[in-house]
Each structure stands twice: as C-alpha cells, then as structure tokens.
C-alpha cells in the first residue's frame, strides 16, 4: 500500500529520510536537520516534527525501537523506519521530482491585483521586493559557501534550487519595475475601477 497518498508533507518526508539512515529520536532528527541547513526549507519547530512523527507512526510507516532515559534528562523515544515507510518515501520522491505541479503563491495572487496600486507606488513596492530578494540571495550564498566546506553538494541541492528561484524572481521583478518606471507598463487605477463597476452594473441590468 502506498501510504503517501495521504498527502504527507515535507516534514514527513524529512523524518522518513532521516530514519532510513538510522534509528534516532526526535532531538537527533532536529539537530541533523539544522546541521545540514534544512532549516532553509523547514521551519524547525518541535511541534511540526512531533506531529509528523505521530502521523507516520499511525500510518505504520515508522515504529518505536526503544524508549530510554539518560540521567535526569526527559525520556526519549527512538524510532525506526518500517518497510512500508521506505517504499512510500521512494514513491513520493519519484512523484514529486518527476512531476511539475502548480503550487499556490501569495506573491502571484497579489500580482493579479497589482492594478489596485497606482504605477508609481507599484514601482516603489517592486523596488523594495528587489532589495529584500537581494538580501536573501546574499545570505543564501554565504550559507552555501560555509556549508560546502562541511557537507557534500548533494546535501545542498535544494538550497541551490532556492537560490536559482530567487535569482530568477529578482530578474523578473526588477525588469517589471523598470518597465513601470519607463511607462512601458502603465494603468489608471481609478479608470479601471470605474470601468469594472460599469460592466458589473450593465451585467446586472441585463438579468431577467
């Protein structure tokens, strides 16, 4: 049975991938994710990790190996991956990597309503986005440079992908800002809103 049809997310994939390496407890998982710079794609919150572990255990994809306590430390549960977990991990990786999917984007949604800002203000906000994108890019490059001295490139390919996407977005947003400032892309917000209202009223008058 392919349990990944339950649409488990990236947290579940991360847990399965770590447990495929070796049995470990949640604290070890969290530490490895941070050491490997996976915090760039995962918000390293204990609640999200434990929620993913619970889902996977209920689905029969992972199981408890043992529970232990060291000194006065809290009791720790070590998990191992089940055969079904390995199968599901590989299945979902093949599907996600091979199949492009249109994913929701708050920025893309906001851009569809850009006409509600006058061109000069839109250009200002686009310029600010460019500034913040460049800041993210610089930070990511610095992180990649530092991490590459300690881990193999295969452990950083997701950061390379993120860097490529940020650079592509910066180029597009910057080009759009230039076009707006140059008047190659312009609009009249008040006129467009009045036109939309008139069209809506006309459509309403035409109803039976």
Q: Which of 17-26, 89-98, 169-178, 195-204 has the lowest mean pLDDT?
A: 195-204
Q: Above 80 in pLDDT, residue 40?
A: no
For residue 43, the model assigns a pLDDT of 65
Q: Above 50 in pLDDT, residue 156?
A: yes
91 and 119 together in one domain: no
Q: Which domain holds residue 10?
A: 3-98
Burial profile 174-198: b = 16 or more Cβ within 10 angstroms, e = fewer: bebbeebbeeeeeeeeeeeeeeeee
Alpha-carbon separation of residue 110 from 106, 116, 174 (angstroms): 6, 10, 17
63 and 145 together in one domain: no
* Predicted TM-score of the model (pTM): 0.78
112 and 86 together in one domain: no
Domain boundary among 98, 117, 150: 98
Domain boundary among 69, 98, 127: 98
For residue 114, the model assigns a pLDDT of 93
């Amino acid at each position: 049975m392919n349990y990944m049809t339950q649409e488990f997310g990236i947290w579940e994939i991360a847990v399965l991938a770590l447990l495929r390496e070796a049995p470990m407890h949640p604290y070890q998982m969290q530490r490895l994710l941070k050491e490997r710079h996976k915090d760039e794609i995962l918000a390293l919150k204990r609640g999200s990790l434990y929620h993913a572990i619970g889902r996977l255990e209920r689905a029969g994809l992972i199981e408890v190996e043992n529970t232990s306590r060291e000194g006065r430390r809290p009791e720790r549960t070590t998990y191992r991956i089940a055969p079904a977990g390995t199968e599901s991990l590989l299945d979902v990786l093949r599907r996600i990597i091979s199949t492009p999917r249109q994913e929701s984007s708050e920025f893309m949604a906001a851009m569809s309503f850009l006409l509600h800002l006058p061109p000069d203000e839109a250009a200002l906000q686009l310029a600010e986005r460019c500034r913040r994108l460049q800041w993210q890019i610089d930070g990511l490059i610095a992180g990649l440079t530092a991490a590459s001295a300690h881990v193999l490139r295969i452990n950083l390919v997701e950061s390379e992908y993120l860097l490529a996407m940020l650079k592509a977005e910066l180029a597009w947003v910057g080009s759009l800002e230039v076009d707006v400032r140059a008047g190659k892309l312009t609009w009249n917000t008040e006129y467009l809103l009045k036109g939309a209202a008139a069209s809506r009223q006309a459509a309403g008058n035409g109803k039976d």
